[in-house]
Amino acid sequence: MRIHFKTSYDDDIRLFEDGWKLSLYAALLALMAALPWLIDDFYLGEATNVLIWATCGLGLMLLTGQTGQASLGHSAFMALGCYTTVLLMEAGVPFVLAFPLAGVLTGIVGGLIAIPALKLHGVYLAIATLALAILTDDLIVMLEPWTGGVGGKFAPPITIFGLEVNRWSSPAAWYYMALVVVLVVTLFYRNLLRAPMGRAFAAVRDSEISAQAMGVNLARTKTIAFGMSAGITGLGGALMGLFAEVFNNETFTFILSIQLLMMIVVGGLGFIHGAFLGAIVISFLPQALSIVTDGIGSNVAIPGLEIGVFGVIMILFILFEPMGLYGRWLKIRTFFQLFPFARKDMFRRQKSYLKTERLR
């Protein structure tokens, strides 16, 4: 059992709890860096897909898991980030500038949309953002001169400091690009949690009334959270579209938003690790379903099978493991750390809420 004695505020907000945690993450990073030499190109492409989904998941996690604002419209920001990146590259802007600039522009648009949308709460906010995701499909078709409409667009070639990054000719380069992006986003997220703004996000999530009483500006905090979340998700959407190489209005449907929400719920709502665990599930579950259907000798595609399985998994986690996969790991780790003094009720969810929150 490891015990951490915190003797200053610096100990409470340090990036890693101790040298042991630092060594574990350093070993994991070394493994990720060596992955192109350990697996073939097919599984390397799947690993790249996991990193892209993790980037998108971190964006939604910042809003839903950290700030407590439900959103079913983040596929719209994925589409905006993707099309903005491609349009900037077609205008002659280098990828290294077009990519982050698209994330900034998507974040600004997300913040502007949040101003009226965040006057709603709970399920009403989810419905409003879902309407945004559905509307995006029509907007892509209507803006055909810029988006290509139903015919879609082809991703332009990516060149970074003279090195061409192509999914088929240089899968390792694509993997390292996605790895760098997700590492930068993760470090930004982790440092944000230690900053006053991150503490304000958590306060709004736990109790808006209490946060307001402590001096937190609710409207400004929610708008900033929505804008940051949209920007990060836009970066993930840009990677997803460029990785697919061809995309249109059917690429970024509202189903993508539901998959994103399922991903962070299954992985562990409110945990950075949850975004990565959920990305692994969302990336490899279609492959697992294909293997199972082939194993039972079914050569006929079952419409809606993948979405149906996603829905069942999400419902089961909400009912039996609300803390997700990472929450289950925390329970197992705590049990062995405190054995034989661990008790089942340690992780029981509280049933008492502020009356003002319950009636809102």
Structural domain spans, the chain: 36-349
Reduced to 3 states, what is the DSSP secondary structure of residue 246? strand
Average pLDDT of the chain, as a whole number: 85
Mean pLDDT, residues 182-188:
95
Give the pLDDT of residue 155. 87
Question: Which two structure tokens, joined as six digits, stand for 62?
Answer: 């910042």
Task: Answer whether residue 358 shows pLDDT above 50.
Answer: no
CA distance 38 to 345: 43
Task: Answer whether residue 348 shows pLDDT above 70.
Answer: no
Q: Cα 346 to chain center, whole Å?
A: 28
* pLDDT tier for residue 344 given thresholds of 50, 70 and 90: low
Mean pLDDT, residues 237-253:
90
Sign of CA dihedral 78, 82, 88, 89: positive
158: part of which helix (H) or strand (E)?
strand 158-160
Answer with the residue of higher pLDDT: 23 or 342. Answer: 23
CATH architecture of the domain formed by 36-349? Orthogonal Bundle (1.10)
Q: Cα 215 to chain center, whole Å?
A: 29
Question: Which two structure tokens, joined as six digits, stand for 113?
Answer: 């949309």
Amino acid present at 169: S
Sign of CA dihedral 300, 303, 304, 308: negative
State pTM to two decimals: 0.90
- Out of 83-87, 166-170, 283-287, give the one with best mean pLDDT: 83-87
pLDDT tens across 13-45, in order?
777 777 778 898 999 999 999 999 999 888 899
- Cβ atoms of 130 and 72 within 8 Å: the answer is yes
Answer with the residue of higher pLDDT: 306 or 134. Answer: 134
Q: For residue 267, which of 277, 257, 281 has the smallest C-alpha distance?
A: 277
> C-alpha distances in angstroms, 195 versus 12, 110, 185, 221?
12, 22, 15, 13
> Within a 10 A sphere around the Cβ of 77, how many other Cβ atoms?
36
> C-alpha distances in angstroms, 276 versus 102, 214, 259, 292?
23, 33, 14, 24
CA distance 350 to 360: 19
pLDDT tens across 276-303, in order?
999 998 888 877 777 777 666 656 566 6
Mean pLDDT, residues 43-59:
93
Q: List Cβ neighbours of 295 (8 Å cut-off, separation of 6 or more).
A: none
73-87, 92-106, 226-240, 303-317: least confident range: 303-317
